[in-house]
Every structure is written in C-alpha cells, then in structure tokens.
Structure 1
C-alpha cells in the first residue's frame, strides 16, 4: 500500500473538498470534511451511525484497537452532520450507500472503503498529492501539532501508543524539529 501524506496547506484542503464534490458528489466531500474533523480511521468513520451521536458527542468503539473513542463535535462537524441527516432522514449510517440500484432493496450499508479510496486517489493524482483515506487523520494530527507543538496532545487525539509513531505518522521530520529550535528564540 502506498504511503499517503498529511495535507499541510489549508488551501489544498479546501481544493480537495471542492474536487471531491465536483467529481464524486456532496457525500464524498462530506466524508473528507467530517473525516478531517474526527481524525478516525476510515473503517470507523464509515461505520458511524446516527445513533452513535448524542448531542455534541460521538461515541464509538474503534474497530482496530477496541478502544472507545469519545469525541466532542465542533460546530462545523455538527452542522455537516445535521445537513446530511436533513438530506437523508431515513438513513442509519452517516455515510450510507444509496446510489446503487441494488441498495434500494438491500439492508442499509455504509459507503464502501473502496469507493472512498478510489475517489481520494483520483483527486490526489489530479493535484499531485499522495492522498488516501488515512490522509484525513494524518492531516488533523499535523495541523494540531502545528498549532500547539505538543506531540503528547496529538498522540492522545490519535490514540497512539508512542510519540515516535505519532511524529512519523503526521510527517514531522527531524529537519522540521531542528528548524523549530532555530526559529524560536526566547
């Protein structure tokens, strides 16, 4: 599997959202925008049910780790979820598959990981960014680190076991850490 990147430019983040909507529809742009704000693995993001959301909190058990993720929803995420719920009041899943002819008579299922992977790869190729489903999680971690410079805080948000894993995961290199030491004089 190809290594994907954190998207470091806020303009590129917006461009990705725009291109996903333009080429694949509002639902795929919603996956990107909500995924950026929740920093969940794609399997957990796609499995979210409206019943997992109580007020301004999302509570799920992560599929990979078995750990509980209890995430407060920011205003942007709450608004996006409400818009989705208004568009699709009968849906069980936040990102429910509904376009396929087969889906109209089948039990509800979430959007497939494969569909999201394909859409993200297409947009990534278009803008020359190694974009994948993990890019949302990495991007959130990267931008949190840039705003607070507290790797422990980022590690806790991503529910990682070590700081070294988190630094590598969000794309922070020794060169960038050295630059921070040189540029910040007290």
Structure 2
C-alpha cells in the first residue's frame, strides 16, 4: 500500500470534496471538509460527538497519544457542523452511521474508518492520487507550512514531537528545501 500524500493544489482539494459528494455521499464530503480544517487522525475525527463541541471549540482526548486536543473551530467548520446537526438533530456523533438505525435497540455508532478509507481510495484512484484518511491531516499541515514556513507551528498543530517527523509527514522533501534555498536570495 502506497503512503498517502498531502494534497498540494487547492483546486484538487475542492475537486476531491465534489467527487466525494457525487460518487459517495454528502457525509463523505463533510468528513473531507471538516477533517481538512481540524487536522485530526481519522479515529478521533469519526469519534467526535456533538457534546464535544462547545460553541466555537472542540475538546477531545486523542486516542493514539492520550493528549487533549483543544481546537478553535473556524467559520467553515461551524457552518458544516450546524448543518449536520440541523439535518440530524437526534444524532450523537457528528459522523454517525446511518446503517445502525435499522438495528432495533442498537446504540448509535460513528461511521467506520473502513467506509471512509474505501470512499477516499475510490476518489483517489479516479484522480490518480494516493488519497487516504491521513491526507486531510497531511494537507492541513502542508498548507500551514507553505503559508507560514514555521515548522514549530505545524508541529504544535499536529501535536508531533520532532521537526523531522513533521516535515516528512507533510511531504516536505530535500528537493523542496533545496528549491527554497535557490529561490530566496538575500
């Protein structure tokens, strides 16, 4: 399995959202759009409950690291969340599985990681991209780095422990660093 990549072109980011909606579902498009803005691992993204959201903040404990993520929500995410909540006022999870409603007396569950992986792979194949669930997190990190050139800031956002891990994670290669040295003349 190839390593998934950050999506570096803004037009491709929008196209992925569009294709997820028309090929899969509005819910998959919402996962992509919200996931891009929250930079959470897919397990944490799918486990978000509406009760984790307080006005313009999301506070959750990350399952992999045990660290607390306290994220201020931007207007795009708030708009998506409000629409989802309005369309599904009885849901507990932001990305709740619809299939579970057919099981009598079954507790609500979030959408499965597997279903999101399949949807993203389908669209990635169509666009000839290594698209996966980590692509949202990597894309957010990549674009923050390109905008600020502040690897420490990206590390903090992704809650990573080293610059090398973060640079590799967001797809900044030695070629990119060499290019920055050549292009920036002082």
Question: Is contact 1:37-1:77 (8 Å) kept?
Answer: yes
How do 1:94-109 residues align onto structure 2 when only pairs under 5 Å count?
94-99=94-99, 102-103=102-103, 105-109=105-109
What's the counterpart of residue 157 of structure 1? 157
Helix, strand or coil at the partner of 1:70: strand
Paired residues of 2:100 and 2:108 also in contact (CA < 8 A) = no
**TM-score normalised by the chain length of structure 1:** 0.97
C-alpha distance after superposition, 1:2-55 (max 9, x if no partner): 310000000000000000000111100000000000000000000000000001
Matches within 5 A, 1:2-81: 2-81=2-81
- Listed one character per residue, the Cα deviations across residues 97-144 of structure 1 (whole Å, up to 9, x for unaligned) are 014564464210000000000000000000000000000000000000
- TM-score for both structures, normalised by structure 2: 0.97
Counterpart mapping for 1:60-139 below 5 A:
60-99=60-99, 102-103=102-103, 105-139=105-139
For residues 94 and 101 of structure 1, do their structure 2 counterparts lie closer, same or farther at Cα, with a shift above 3 Å needed? closer
Q: How many residues align?
A: 186
Q: Supply the distance in 1 between the matched residues of 2:68 and 2:101 (Cα, whole angstroms).
A: 35
Contact 2:116–2:133 (CA under 8 A) maintained in structure 1: yes
Q: 2:165 and 2:79 mapped to 1: Cα distance?
A: 32
4+ long deviations beyond 3 Å: 99-105
Q: Is the 8 A contact 1:97 1:103 kept in 2?
A: no
Task: State how far apart, in whole Å, the 2-side matches of 1:77 and 1:27 are.
Answer: 14
Question: For the aligned residues, what is the CA RMSD?
Answer: 1.1
Check the 8 A contact 1:42/1:134 in 2, yes or no.
yes
Structure 2: runs of 5+ lacking an equivalent: none
Unmatched tracts of structure 1, length 5 or more: none
Pair 118,66 (structure 1): closer, same or farther in 2 beyond 3 Å: same
